[in-house]
Structures are given as structure tokens and as C-alpha cells.
Structure 1
Amino acid sequence: MILENAPAAVTWLVLVTAALCAGFAKTAVGGIGLFTVVLAATVMPAAESTAAVLLLLIIADACAVARYHQHADWKLIRQVVPAVLPGLLVGTALLAVLPDSLLRRIIGGILLAMAALQLLPRTPRPSRGTAVATGLAAGACTMMANAAGPVMSLYLLARGLDKRRFLGTSAWFFAGVNLCKVPFAAGLGLFDGEMLVRTLILAPAVLLGAFLGVKLVDRLKQSVFQRVVLGATAVSALALILL
């Protein structure tokens, strides 16, 4: 990890930035949520950073649900959710046989390909089979590299949702997924008192990021919002491949 032995001030600066990204991603540009994962992993051991990021994301999920809960498209959520658990199992199996660095690069390559498809002329809206495939991919990617955000962002873009339906649907989906991951992390002993205190200290940064995200989205036109999400997803995919 690049900054694992950095001074405490640098570590806290990185963590505050990660917390800001978590809040901002949930209420504005979902594609940048992966930067929270990348930043935390530079200053914390892998398992600890995964658990710490999960707690930050749950706070950010609560902010997004509070703001956009009435805009969720529950039909889309019901189509995707049943395949998430099998996706988690697939991700677990792949983790057992492939190195983490290779998995990240595979996911990044898939995301780049999916992002490129968004630039092609629009085809009919994705079928139910595509929703199932998205659920599988989201479950697998969140288990392997906490990268389900870009997967869902690309799927929701393909469905042509307006920005508030996009954010409301994403908010409820990830609130459920992240809460489901808590017992697994707790069972592995990844939560302790020090981590909970650190999360409380970072919570205001998450809230600030969420507030800034809301303000930005209110000013973005729909076409600009779509391009920003697509661009952020592509950058996240590159980060997976290169880092």
C-alpha cells in the first residue's frame, strides 16, 4: 500500500477525502464511489479498509435515501436484486482462485467495454435477462473489488432514467446491499471500537460530500449528468486496471 506508513496527518487527509467522495458519489456522481475504496486502501490494510469503507458507505446511503427515496424505480430494483446473492457467491468463488490484482483488472476491462457501449446508438431498453446479468455482476464485483457502483450506474444509464430516478433507485439498491454485507464483515471480526470511533469522526465529511452532491445535481442538466456519470465510471475502471 502506497501510504501505509504515512504520517497520521496524511492518513487522516486521505480518509477525509475518501469520506467526501463517498457522500458525493451517493448523491451526485455514482461512478466516483470507487475512489473511496482506492483511497482507503492506500492507508489501511486491505481487510480493514474494506470494513471501514462499508461503514462510510452506509452513512452515505442513508443520506441518499433521505434525499431521493421518493424517486426510486422499484420495478428495476426487484428485477436486479434476486441475482445479487448468487453474484456474491460467484465473487467469493473467484476470489478463492484468482489473485486480487487480476480480478480488479478484469472488472476494469469489463466496465470500460460497458462504458464504450453507452456511446453507441441507443438500442431497445435492456431486457429482464440483462437485469439478472446486472444483479450477478453487481454481486460479484462488490465482493471482489467493491466495484458494484459502476456496474449499476451503467445499467441505469442504459435504462434512460432521469437523474433523480437514477439516484433514488441506486440509493435504495445499495442501502440494501451494503446492509446485507455487515453480518459477513462482522463475522470476520473486521469491526472494532477504534474503527467505529474513526467512522464517527469521518461522518461529517460524508455528510458534507452528500450536501455538495445534492447542490451539484440540482444544477446539472440531464444530458450533462449522463456524460459526467459515464466519464466518472470510465475513470474508475481505469483506476481498477492501473492501480
Structure 2
Amino acid sequence: MLDLTVGGWVLAVIAAVAVGLAKGGLAMVGMISVPMLSLVMSPVQAAGLMLPVYVVSDVGGLLAFRHHFDRRVLATALPGALAGIGIGWAAAHVVPVDGVTFIVGAVGLIFALNALIRPHLSAQKRRPSPARGTLWGLLSGYTSFVSHAGAPPWQVYVQPLRLPALIYAGTTTWFFAICNWVKLIPYAALGQLNPAALATAAVLTPAALASVWIGLRLVRIIPEALFYKLITWGLLAVSLRLIWQALA
């Protein structure tokens, strides 16, 4: 098991809860997990620790949305996503830890600023496009590999498609579940799924699974706009801290 301080364990549990809430319907919340853990460990270690938590939490989402997803959207985005994961694997030994820290912080910062400055994407409905799907799928796959932060590029592609809410949630769940299962191969090859990380992930998984249920309930109680505004400001603060840490 990883040797974490009390503060590190607190952040790890919060990160696991964020993953569970994301799988319970509060999709963007999961983005804060790796940036938050990167405050107390390397982002590479943080990503390896959280992947098993994501994979186990995905099971509940796949069961819930097994009949609700858009095959056309997945067909246009998954090839690019798999290529992005491959690029992340190939560049894993080239990009230094500080570089990964900066990328994680930059991705979070860009998304947070975009969410604050442009709270609504274009209202014009689009159709699934192999070109756009490949581009945004590639970026989503790469950022997902680096820090499980593939949601912003994915949202840029899928949100303008104006899918029905249930189909949107199900397609998103299937897309990232497939990406997470594929990431197990390069993460294991890179040594990120070591026994200590797996043991720690096993301790955190119950909190994530319980939070899936909590997420399903919170979606119906908390005003979505207020909740995401708080998460966005939190992500902004953590991302700025990571960028400063990388540059320092």
C-alpha cells in the first residue's frame, strides 16, 4: 500500500468520491481527482492509483446504460481516442514528470476558464462527424491517458450533437469505460499498476462505489449550475497550483 500522510489519505478519499459522483451523473466532477492527488504525489502515480477505481466504478454505469448509447458517436470518436492513448503510451518516457504536471494543470485551467467565460456551447445542433470525432477523440484519449481528464475534449465534440440526456450520459459512460479498460494495458506495462497502488485503490474503491449512488441522488437535489460552478472554481485553483509547481 502507498505510504500516504493523513492529508494524503484525505485527498485520496475525496478523489475517489469525485470519481464515484462522476459515474453517478455528475460527469465533470471526476476531473478534479488526479489534479488534487498531484498535490501530494506525482501525477503519473496519481493517474495509476485512480485507474482501477475508475474501472470498477464504470461497471455500475455500464449496467445502468447498457441500452442507452449512440453507436454512431462512439464509432466516430473511439478510433481517435485509442490513437490518443497510444500516443500517450509512446510519449510516457519522453515527457518528464514536471511536463506531465504542467499538462494536467494546463488541461484543467483551460477547461475551467472556458467553462467560466463561455458557460454555454453553441446551440446549433450538429451531426456526428468522423473528422471532428477523430480530432476530439484523439485529444480526449491523450488527456485521459495522462490524467483521466478526457472529459473537456469529449464534451466539445458531443455536447453540440444535442443528444437526449439519457443517450448523452450513456454514450459518455461507454466511451470512457472502453478507454479505461484499454488504458489498463499501457498502465500495467509502465508499472503504474504496481501492488502498492492496487492495494491502495482497493481501499478507495468502496468510497467510489458508494458515491455512485450518492451522485444519482445529488443530481436531483442540488442545482446543477451551482454545483458545477463550485467544481469549476475548485478545479481552477488546483490547476493554477499545479502549473506553479511544475514551473517552480
What interval of TM-score do these two structures reach, taking the shorter chain for normalisation?
A: 0.7 to 0.9
State whether structure 2 residue 162 is matched by structure 1 residue 160.
yes
After TM superposition, give the deviation of residue 189 of structure 1 in Å.
1.8
Q: Decide whether the 8 Å contact of 1:31 with 1:236 is kept in 2.
A: no
Q: 1:200 aligns with which of 191, 199, 202?
A: 202
Structure 1: tracts of 5 or more residues without a match: none
Instruction: Label 1:87 to 1:236 Cα distance change in 2 as closer, same or farther (>3 A).
Output: farther
Q: 1:57 aligns with which of 54, 60, 65?
A: 54
Q: Which residue of structure 1 lines up, in the alignment, with residue 15 of structure 2?
A: 18
Instruction: Label 1:104 to 1:201 Cα distance change in 2 as closer, same or farther (>3 A).
Output: closer
Mapped partners of 2:95, 2:46: distance in 1: 22
State the one-letter code of the partner of 1:107: V
State the one-letter code of the partner of 2:193: F
Mapped partners of 1:48, 1:106: distance in 2: 18
Mapped partners of 1:194, 1:102: distance in 2: 25
Q: Decide whether the 8 Å contact of 1:32 with 1:232 is kept in 2.
A: no
Q: How does 1:61-140 map to 2 (within 5 A)?
A: 61-91=58-88, 96=94, 99-108=99-108, 110-112=110-112, 115=115, 116-117=117-118, 119=120, 122-125=123-126, 128=129, 129-140=131-142
State the one-letter code of the partner of 1:82: P
Give the structure-2-normalised TM-score: 0.79
Mapped partners of 1:29, 1:40: distance in 2: 19
Q: Secondary structure at the match of 1:178?
A: helix
Instruction: Label 1:86 to 1:193 Cα distance change in 2 as closer, same or farther (>3 A).
Output: closer
Q: What is the aligned-residue identity percentage?
A: 23
Please list the CA deviations of residues 157-181 of structure 1 after superposition, one character each: whole Å capped at 9, or x if unmatched.
Answer: 2222333222211111111101111
Instruction: Label 1:31 to 1:94 Cα distance change in 2 as closer, same or farther (>3 A).
Output: same
Mapped partners of 1:77, 1:229: distance in 2: 28
Mapped partners of 1:81, 1:160: distance in 2: 19
State the one-letter code of the partner of 1:191: L
Q: Secondary structure at the match of 2:67?
A: helix
Structure 2: tracts of 5 or more residues without a match: 243-248
Q: How does 1:24-43 map to 2 (within 5 A)?
A: 24-43=21-40
Mapped partners of 2:240, 2:164: distance in 1: 30
Give the structure-1-normalised TM-score: 0.80
Aligned length: 235
Q: Decide whether the 8 Å contact of 1:30 with 1:153 is kept in 2.
A: no
Q: Decide whether the 8 Å contact of 1:31 with 1:153 is kept in 2.
A: no
Q: Which residue of structure 2 lines up, in the alignment, with residue 240 of structure 1?
A: 239
Richer in helix (by share): 1
Mapped partners of 1:181, 1:120: distance in 2: 29
Q: Which residue of structure 1 lines up, in the alignment, with residue 246 of structure 2?
A: none
Q: Which of structure 1's runs of 4+ aligned residues deviate more than 6 A?
A: none
